Amino acid sequence: MFAAAPDYPINLDATTRHFPPFSLTRLLGTVFAPTEGCRVCTLIDLENPAEEMKNFAFLRSPEYSIQRHAHDVFYHGLLRGGLKDLGLTGGEIFAYKMTHGSNLDLEDEAWSPSGEKVSLEHDVYPHYDLILCISTFSATAPLTAMAKKYLFRGATMHGMNPVILRTGLAVDYNEVSRDAEKLRLALTKADEIDIDFELENGEVLTATLLLDGQEAQKSHGLCLGRDPDIANLPAGEVYFVPTGAEGHFPMKYADGTLGRLTVTGGRIIRSDLLEGNPETIADHNRRLADDPMTGVLGELGFGTQVLPVSAADIQDEKVLGTCHLATGRDDHLGGHITPDLFKNHRNATHDDILFAPHKTPNFNLKQVRMKRGQQREILIENFRPAAYLLEALTK
């Protein structure tokens, strides 16, 4: 994906990078450094958990590949030695009803493999020290809120697939954390970020993200100590909660339609068709008009790792040279957009918009620039980290 920059001793070609074999013990030991006796459990999401969780019936359904990884690699991995190796207790697994939305609140009912119905808030959250959630739809925001309430730690790993297991979850998260901190320091206290997008016809759209000199944050994979916290894995990201935004940027919808989004006052107010299905654009505009909070930009993030494309945004947004925006709730990132602010609770999602060569081949991330006081820096050009970021990584 990337070509190595000859002036810097950093290999940016993920296809040549060596990844060690995945180790559950190493991953959990590094991320959590758990103390003796910590109680751990695994959560998954299913369409009909009351029936599909009983006796692990979901394992007979090929569409539940993510949940199979949770069962085979994490649940069985803990029972077959992981608990003993790490000095953990517990090891149970529960399934809750699939939310069908990124970071929507979870229903309280869950089920065990024996068919027993349990309450997440009464039977799970208060009784486990570490909770691992491996799901189709991200649960980072709701579990972050529950962790603060019930004082547990955990990790969310939605969209897990074999590539992620072999690469993004096999890395040394001490190294990931160090690199993320180097790039965080390079970006922290930025006043604004300007992003130029070049369309196939040569037109350039520019979006300006206002940051007001805020401290940059990092998703670095380490969830140490006793403080309640949720790690979103694979990790490797520096991010901000924008205080405002102006301009335009392109968006590729799930059906391939390409729209030009107009942003003002930190919120998407309109989408205009560039190519594809007009009804897709009309549907987005109806949602923006009906529930304006769905258009609020709640995150600006930059990848910090050299990783292969996994076809899952949870890893691909962590790749150095990419950036992403997100709309919707941002309370799990330290923002103030909470589910109660949305007209319809089903709209209270946190949806990432990833700009990456494989995801958005019909437009280019031409240039990303930072303003920090009198300092002006180019961060990314043509989906490649610029000299400023590469120099930061060598320090």
Among the ranges given (35-39, 229-233, 344-348), the one the predictor scored with the smallest mean pLDDT: 344-348
Could you tell me the residue range of the domain that residue 224 belongs to? 176-394
**Cα-based angle 213, 296, 262 (whole degrees, multiple of 5):** 95
CA dihedral sign, ordered 241, 247, 250, 253: positive
What one-character-per-residue DSSP string does 178-245 give?
Answer: HHHHHHHHHHTT-SEEEEEEEETTS-EEEEEEE-TTPPPEEE-S---SSS-EEEESS--EEEE--SEE
Alpha helices (H) in the chain, listed in sequence order = 24-32, 49-52, 65-69, 76-77, 83-86, 140-150, 162-166, 173-187, 278-290, 313-316, 387-394
| Structure confidence by residue, pLDDT tens digits, 56-82 | 999 999 999 999 999 999 999 999 999
Same domain, 222 and 332: yes
Q: Residues 47, 154: one domain?
A: yes
Is 11 within the bounds of a domain?
Answer: no
Q: Is position 15 within any domain?
A: no
- What is the average per-residue pLDDT within 101-128? 97
Q: Give CA–CA dist 368/386, Å, rounded.
A: 9
Question: How far apart, in Å, do the first and last CA atoms of the chain sit?
Answer: 24
Question: Is the Cβ–Cβ distance between 353 and 394 less than 8 Å?
Answer: no
Characterize 240-272 residue by residue with b for buried, 16 or more Cβ atoms within 10 angstroms of its Cβ, and e for exposed: bbbebbebbbbbbeeeebbbbbbbeebbbebbe
Residue 239: beta bridge partners?
217, 301
The CA distances from residue 172 to 49, 133, 237, 239, in Å, are: 34, 20, 15, 21
Q: Is the pTM of this model over 0.75?
A: yes
DSSP, res 70: I
Q: How confident is the model at residue 6 (pLDDT cuts 50, 70, 90)?
A: very low
Alpha-carbon distance of 359 to 323, in angstroms, equals 12
Confidence at residue 18, expressed as pLDDT on a 0 to 100 scale: 87
Burial 363-391 (b: 16+ CB within 10 A, else e): bbbbbbbbebeeeebebbbebbbbebbbe
Q: List pLDDT tens digits, range 267-314.
A: 999 999 999 999 999 999 999 999 999 999 999 999 999 999 999 999
Are 28 and 86 spatial neighbours (Cβ–Cβ below 8 Å)?
yes
Q: 150 and 206: one domain?
A: no
Q: For 175-222, how does the pLDDT look when each residue is reduced to its tens digit (9 = 90+)?
A: 999 999 999 999 999 999 999 999 999 999 999 999 999 999 999 999
End-of-domain residue from the set 166, 196, 219: 166
Q: Are 82 and 102 members of one domain?
A: yes
Same domain, 143 and 184: no
Whose CA is closest to 237, among 168, 193, 184?
A: 184
Asked whether residue 309 is assigned to any structural domain, the reply reads yes
Q: Quick check: is 325 in a domain?
A: yes
- Domain-terminating residue out of 134, 166, 198: 166
Query: Per the structure, how many domains does the chain have?
Result: 2
pLDDT of residue 392: 97
Q: Give Cα separations from 66 to 43, 58, 120, 181, 201 (angstroms).
A: 12, 11, 21, 30, 39
Same domain, 159 and 182: no
Residues 206 and 143 reside in one and the same domain = no
